[in-house]
Structure 1
Amino acid sequence: MKKLNLLNITLGIFVTLLLTGCGSDSATDTKNNGEVQGSSSNLGEQLNYKITGIEPGAGTTELARNTLEEYENLDGWELLESSTAGMLSSLDKAIKNEEPIIVTGWTPHWMFANYDLKYLEDPKGTFGGIENINTIVRKGFKKEMPDAYKIVDRFYWEPKDMEEVMFAAQDISFEEAAKNWVEKNQDQVAEWTEGTEKVDGKEIELVSTPWDTERASGNVLKIVLEQQGYKVTLTPVDPVIMFQAIATGEGDVSVAPWLPATHASFYEQYKEDIVDLGENLTGAKIGMVVPKYMHIDSIEDLQPKE
């Protein structure tokens, strides 16, 4: 089986869209008696009608572009591609200064535990509804590695489990955070591995995406498989490369696809060449998110650029 060449893969960092006026002159005029104005009438001006997203290869970036097209009241707004790390830095700075900011955030994510945030209503449903994170494998994987197949097919956990690993990984590595979670949840791990035989060094290519959600799930599954004797390579790539890798057999397993909306276009492109094992997590969500101190409740509350 071919292995992915990390040197030829453009890495991305997960899912977030940022609208911020941090550093602009107008942002210094957003406070009034200790409260952020952030009203629909002046918010666009405060933020210079700029929407900053994450990597161009992310499914959320595609959904963000579609949102700009579908909402007439977003006429004149621009999407500037950024990174997850940049978004989180700007979000932190804005909240510390009580400045207006809008991000397209997602759950599970530790930022909801760290900050008081809320989703904006999305009446047109451009970001989709409740999302699942699915497990996909290459064709032939079940026949060649039946015990590993059973483990990855049984792999399922709750958003709170993923958030626990993500939050712990703010102070330690994701690998260490995942090891701690596995040690703490041996009963659940035993359900995934029940009735399977240990092996001696069979290689598995686990393909993921380079965002905290998938760093959490990828590292947990990697450790579980390694405890069963597999030699696991965890490779983070952009979503389209992830689907392509499983479809072509360059990768064996991925627990990173967000469906039905976020990665829908990639799924449709490759669905005939992959095996979908269904959800490994339910209750995920993507959408525009703001600090609770902002006086805005819906995407429709934003005003077009004059």
Structure 2
Amino acid sequence: MKRKLTFLLSSIAVLGLTLILGACGSKPAAYNPDQKLGEQLNYTITGIDASSGEMDNATKALTKYGLKQDNWQLMPSSTAAMTSTLDKAIKYKEPIVVTAYQPHWMFSKYPIKWLKDPKNVFGRGEHEATIARKGLKKDNPGAYKLLQNFHWDLKKDAEPVMMDINGGEDKTVAAQKFIKNNPKKVSKMLQGVPDGKGKKIKLVYMPYDYEIAASNVVEQLLKRKNYDVTLQQLDVEVMWQAIVSDKADASVTAELPSTHKAFAKKYKGQYDYVRTNLKGARIGLAVPKYMKNINSIEDLKK
């Protein structure tokens, strides 16, 4: 009897271990174009920070495209959590829909595509802008001149710097690498900029990949002309408040016209719009390219 009990317990243990190992080794279900997408995703779009502009627009999109009534929901997380989830989904070719912003390194790293937005909920295009406090041009014309000069290309310039930082390179090293590898562009950015002679300037930016890359490049350009630069990372609302209250001098990371629309409207006339420094920015929803039959936000109802 004892032997039978021992054998039974051993058999149960082996079966349990087999099930556990099988579960650990099993792959998640891949995207099935013949099954309703909402069912495969539990009707959930993977988002980023709840306070971001693209999340506000994504919330509106749920209503305007009739997705909310079909129980679609937006799951806030963080940019890091969203890209981690996207990475895993692409590894196993799972279905996923994410809120997306360009410029971002994920468009270089992953095979993803934008979903068409026929109702223009996310606007017709974005750009990165340089804004400054009122009076900076008069108080610090040299630094202001560099801010007027600074602009770069999304694919050729910004994305490589972001990819370097994402790959583990120190942000200062990545910025210096861009400057070293682009002498002609840098020469134009520094054209007409006088020696700063240690004059102070404070730049503010948000804690995102493009913002970190762009702000560090501008910091290194200013330091080349002997300006004493301070960088401070702030949340978006605090960043705008710092500019209009003269607690900071400038930012090269204002996302307009849609993402930061509320702040641009709230502080109209209280800041200096210096220039557009990067074209081709965009916000919206994106999916992996292997989801070939999902090409528009309207297709989420399939």
Q: TM-score range by the shorter chain?
A: 0.7 to 0.9
Shift of 1:80: 2.2
Distance 2:137 2:89 in 1: 48
8 Å CA contact retained: 1:38, 1:100: no
1:265 is the counterpart of 2:259: no
Which of 200, 214, 224 pairs up with 2:197? 200
Of 108-117 and 149-158, the range deviating more from structure 2: 108-117
Q: SS where residue 225 of structure 1 aligns?
A: helix
Specify the code of the residue in structure 2 equivalent to 1:44. Answer: G
Contact 1:59 1:239 in 2 (8 A): no
Query: 2:14 matched to which residue of 1?
Result: none
Structure 1 residue 111, shift from structure 2 partner:
1.4
Partner letter of residue 228 of structure 2? K
Of residues 159, 162, 172, the one that matches 2:158 is 162
After TM superposition, list the pairs within 5 Å mapping 1:1-306 onto structure 2.
30-31=29-30, 36-38=31-33, 42-75=36-69, 76-160=71-155, 161-169=157-165, 170-294=167-291, 295-303=293-301
C-alpha distance in structure 2 between counterparts of 1:147 and 1:110, whole Å: 32
SS at 2:273's partner residue? Answer: strand
Counterpart CA distance in 2 for 1:38 and 1:106 is 25
Unmatched tracts of structure 1, length 5 or more:
1-26
SS in 2 for 1:271: coil
Q: TM-score, normalised by structure 1?
A: 0.85
Distance in 2 (CA, whole Å) between partners of 1:195 and 1:285 is 32
Deviation at residue 72 of structure 1 after TM alignment: 1.3
State the secondary structure of the residue aligned to 1:256. strand
SS at the partner of 2:268? Answer: helix
- The CA distance in 2 between the partners of 1:52 and 1:196, in whole Å, is 44
1:197-216 Cα shifts (integer Å, max 9, x gaps):
21232211101111111111
SS state at 1:127 partner: coil
Q: Which of 151-160 and 184-193 deviates more?
A: 184-193
Q: In structure 2, what residue type is equivalent to 1:112? A: F
1:73 CA drift (Å):
3.1
Cα distance in 2 for residues equivalent to 1:237 and 1:148: 21
Give me the whole-angstrom Cα distance separating, in 1, the residues matched to 2:114 and 2:37: 17
Shift of 1:30: 4.2
> Measured at CA, do residues 301 and 175 of structure 1 come closer, stay the same or move farther in structure 2, by a change above 3 Å?
same
Evaluate the alpha carbon distance shift between residue 224 and residue 200 of structure 1 in structure 2; reply closer, same or farther with a 3 A threshold. Answer: same
Contact 1:120 1:296 in 2 (8 A): yes
CA RMSD of aligned residues (A): 1.8
Larger radius of gyration: 2
Paired residue type of 1:301: D
Following the alignment from structure 1 to structure 2, what is the Cα–Cα distance between the partners of residues 300 and 74? 12
Task: Measure how far apart 1:265 and its partner are.
Answer: 1.0
Shift of 1:109: 2.1
For structure 2, the residue ranges without an aligned partner over 5 or more in a row are 1-25
Write the distance in 2 (CA, Å) between the matches of 1:301 and 1:194: 49
Pairwise CA distance, 1:28: 6.8
Q: Give the C-alpha shift of residue 281 in structure 1.
A: 0.5
Deviation for aligned residue 1:223: 0.4
Aligned residue in 2 for 1:19: none
Cα distance in 1 for residues equivalent to 2:80 and 2:102: 16
Distance in 1 separating the partners of 2:229 and 2:28: 53
**CA displacement at 1:38 relative to structure 2:** 4.2
Native 8 Å contact 2:115 2:285 kept in 1: yes
Change in CA separation of 1:30 and 1:123 when aligned onto 2, cut-off 3 Å: farther
In the superposition, the TM-score normalised over structure 2's length comes to 0.86
Distance in 2 (CA, whole Å) between partners of 1:71 and 1:225 is 46
Conserved in 1, the CA contact under 8 Å of 2:46 and 2:96? no
Q: 1:29 to 1:175 in 2, by over 3 A?
A: closer
Q: Report % sequence identity.
A: 44
Q: Which has the higher helix share?
A: 2
